[in-house]
Chains A and B, each alone.
Chain A
Amino acid sequence: MSFWGQTLEIARVDLRVERRLGDTLRIVLPFAVVALMVFPLSLGIELAVIRRIGPAVFWSLGILFGMQVALRQSVADTQERRDLHALLGVDPAARFVGRMLSGGVLMLAFLVVLFIAMVLIYGPTLPPGSWSTVLIGTVLFSIGLTELGTLAGEVTAGLRNRTALASLIVAPLALPLVIGASQSLEALSRGTGILPWVLLMLATDLTLAVVGVGLARPLEEATR
């Protein structure tokens, strides 16, 4: 089977498993939406403040709950499953890209619904062109965070406190993505260019993709 054939098969099975379990859309998403509601409730009727902080809260919750989505596969990935794929001749890089694809789709769906919920709850005044900026930011953010989650899952494979350790790896490394995504919207409000922030996220995504694909095989062998 070709590299892309393996990649798509891994992604297809991951998404089927997610559809059966519903971890992202039935568990993580409702929690994130509830968390969105906490801030307006605690701020009372300060509508101007609520409108102002909406996008920032969205990105904060996006990273916090997005990490749960990004790391969900590390929990499910057992030694037996890794061995199964190895003995079927699956290229570790194809496994990485496949997981990145399925995780990216889930992350994007999660963030889109969360953003809509934020708009409905906070009613932010978004400058013209915001929707396309948010869409670009969300896509790049989703790709980067999923890459980080997949990479952290591989690095911590076989370790006892795997999920906690993986979160510790993802959180600091996701900073360029959070900064890029939140500042692009902020730049739009100020009337300054969003290009530097989009480029920051793009560079982060590309770097993680190169590192992930390049290290997939040695990491898989080292953590066996």
Chain B
Amino acid sequence: MDPLIHLEDAGVSLGGKPILRHVEFELQPGQVVGIAGPNGSGKTTLIRVLATLLRISEGTGSVLGADVNSDQVFRVRPSIGMIGHNPALIGELTLLENLIHIARLAGVSEERVGTVLEVVGLAEASDRRADASSFGMRRRIEVAHLLLTRPRLVLLDEATSGLDNSAHELINALRDRTVADGGGVVMVSHDQKRLAETCEEVMGIASGRLVNVQ
């Protein structure tokens, strides 16, 4: 079976400074991999490469069959879902309007928006503006986004930081459903202990280099 992600000797330099070096990484369908590392170790850069939002300067790589350094990435991007450090929402729109905007652009039926809002527990607060909502609520809307669009590859960059237990359960439910659909999940965090609880394999990253730790 073709891997969802395959990076071989990949490196990324930004502004002439190497951020990732000699990265070897593979993700198979149905796999959940965690990457733990301290701040500034290159976790977010790696996630952006896996999301095809950043090109590699050295080595080779493919995501969902698309060469990460080619225009093939435009074809596979809609099959990638990412929750990053900062919630990717339009602050001036309500939570409901944000999801409708996402549903329309993703070509998903707007009728499902109400259902996912129920699932993430925000049906009652859906008319609240995103910039007036708490961090936890905005995170839940991002989970709702991924439940709505059902991407094959889910990338979570410190997605559980600052969340309560019920939000953790939502993230776990998202992970389980992606795996059940034959997709893959990469979780990145500085919290190695939590990653060990939720991922079948945990790797470490330090100074831009990946190492196996579990």
User: For the complex, is B180 an interface residue (Cβ under 8 Å from A)?
Assistant: no
| Residues in B neighbouring A16, C-beta threshold 8 A | 92-93, 97
Q: Which of A77-115 contact B (CB under 8 A)?
A: 78, 80-81, 83-90
The CA-CA distance from A90 to B51 in the complex, in Å, is 15
User: For the complex, is A160 an interface residue (Cβ under 8 Å from B)?
Assistant: no
A77 to chain B, nearest CB (A): 10
In this complex, how many residues of chain A approach chain B with their Cβ under 8 Å: the count is 23
In this complex, how many residues of chain B approach chain A with their Cβ under 8 Å: the count is 26
Q: Which of B61-114 contact A (CB under 8 A)?
A: 74, 77-78, 80-82, 84, 86-90, 92-93, 97, 101-102, 104-107
Q: Closest chain A residue to B101 by CB distance?
A: A13
Q: Is the CB of B53 within 8 A of A85?
A: no
Contact with B along A20-55 (1 / 0, CB 8 A): 110000000000000000000000000000000000
Q: Is the CB of A87 within 8 A of B104?
A: no
Interface centre among A9, A84, A221 (most CB of B within 10 A): A84
User: For the complex, is B54 an interface residue (Cβ under 8 Å from A)?
Assistant: yes
Q: Is the CB of A13 within 8 A of B90?
A: yes
Q: Is the CB of A89 within 8 A of B88?
A: no
| Residues in A neighbouring B106, C-beta threshold 8 A | 1, 88-89
Chain B interface (Cβ within 8 Å of chain A)?
51, 53-55, 74, 77-78, 80-82, 84, 86-90, 92-93, 97, 101-102, 104-107, 149
A-B residue pairs, 3 tightest by C-beta: A89-B78, A80-B88, A84-B88
Q: Apart from A83-B51, A87-B78, A89-B106, what are 15 other A-B pairs with CB-CB below 8 Å?
A: A1-B106, A1-B107, A9-B104, A16-B93, A17-B90, A20-B92, A81-B90, A87-B51, A87-B80, A88-B77, A88-B78, A88-B106, A89-B78, A221-B55, A224-B53
Chain A interface (Cβ within 8 Å of chain B)?
1, 5-6, 9, 13, 16-17, 20-21, 78, 80-81, 83-90, 217, 221, 224
